[in-house]
């Protein structure tokens, strides 16, 4: 056994013996155990064939904000991350469809994989509740296959596909898992209030069980 392996094994042993704290909901862990808790499995490569992505999108109902997510196998897949702190989804905007405007705390990076359409991004430039009124700057992009566009955090955004026959297909990268891990995943509800998104448990009285995009 290598020195590094021995250190990890010792750390895991230390982690198995927490220090009593006297409280059921609070634990003291030896420092070596804390380091072991912080370790993560090494990332593994993954490959999604285009034919598989196409077939998957045909089998799954198209939600307004996404159809499928690219999730690797193993432990990484349990968090929905395609890479540390990031997720990747495929969004299909059907012919004639206009998605609802929405905004949230994470950003998007869109790559147009198929079709043509329009992307609308509206940013509030006031950045101050004392301004009295919002100062909005809206960007309207005509997008086609191969185009890339970025949606900043809290920018309202929506898509429309004016074509009668061809779907608009986009690959979308976002830092949603990063914010979920920090406990700062927020999105605006239809009534303008803010939803703090977290996994619902039997003890939860607030929140939502779905992050949404």
For residue 73, the model assigns a pLDDT of 84
Q: Per the structure block, which two tokens stand in for 187? A: 């999105």
Structure confidence by residue, pLDDT tens digits, 75-133: 556 788 999 999 999 999 999 999 999 999 999 999 999 999 999 999 987 765 555 56
Q: 206 pLDDT band (50/70/90 cuts)?
A: very low
198: left (phi over 0), alpha (psi -120 to 50) or beta: beta
Beta bridge partners of 56: none
Angstrom distance (rounded) from CA 89 to CA 80: 10
Q: 210 pLDDT band (50/70/90 cuts)?
A: low
Q: In the chain, what are the domain boundaries?
A: 61-189
Question: Residue 5, Cα to own-chain centre: how many angstroms?
Answer: 34
Q: Per the structure block, which two tokens stand in for 49? A: 């064939």
Structure confidence by residue, pLDDT tens digits, 140-181: 999 999 999 999 999 999 999 999 999 999 999 999 999 999
- The string over 195-207, giving b where at least 16 C-beta atoms fall within 10 Å of a residue's C-beta and e elsewhere, is bebeeeeeeeeee
Considering the four listed CATH numbers 3.40.50.720, 2.60.120.10, 3.40.605.10, 1.10.3720.10, the one that applies to the domain covering 61-189 is: 2.60.120.10
For residue 135, the model assigns a pLDDT of 83
Tell me what the pLDDT averaged over the chain comes to. 85
The least confident of 1-5, 16-20, 35-39, 151-155 is 1-5
For residue 34, the model assigns a pLDDT of 87
Q: Which residue has the higher pLDDT, 205 or 63?
A: 63
Are the beta carbons of 82 and 71 closer than 8 angstroms? yes
With 90 as the cut, is the pLDDT of residue 198 above it? no
Structure confidence by residue, pLDDT tens digits, 129-151: 555 566 889 999 999 999 999 99
Q: Which residue has the higher pLDDT, 205 or 67?
A: 67
Helix (H) or strand (E) holding 12: helix 3-15
DSSP-derived secondary structure letter, 190: T
């Amino acid at each position: 056994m290598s020195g590094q392996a021995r250190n990890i094994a010792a750390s895991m042993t230390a982690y198995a013996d927490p220090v009593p704290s006297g409280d059921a909901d609070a634990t003291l862990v030896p420092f070596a155990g804390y380091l072991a808790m912080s370790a993560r499995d090494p990332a593994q490569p993954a490959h999604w064939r285009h034919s598989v992505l196409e077939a998957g999108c045909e089998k799954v109902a198209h939600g307004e904000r996404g159809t499928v997510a690219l999730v690797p196998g193993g432990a990484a897949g349990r968090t929905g991350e395609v890479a540390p702190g990031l997720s990747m989804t495929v969004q299909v905007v059907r012919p004639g469809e206009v998605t609802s405007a929405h905004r949230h705390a994470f950003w998007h990076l869109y790559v147009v994989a198929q079709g043509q359409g329009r992307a609308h991004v509206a940013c509030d430039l006031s950045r101050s509740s004392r301004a009295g009124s919002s100062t909005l700057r809206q960007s309207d992009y005509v997008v086609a296959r191969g185009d890339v566009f970025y949606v900043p955090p809290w920018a309202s955004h929506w898509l429309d596909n004016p074509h009668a026959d061809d779907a608009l297909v986009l690959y979308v990268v976002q830092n949603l898992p990063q914010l979920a891990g920090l406990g700062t995943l927020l999105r605006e509800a239809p009534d303008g209030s803010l939803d703090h998104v977290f996994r619902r448990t039997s003890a939860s009285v607030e929140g939502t069980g779905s992050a949404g995009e």
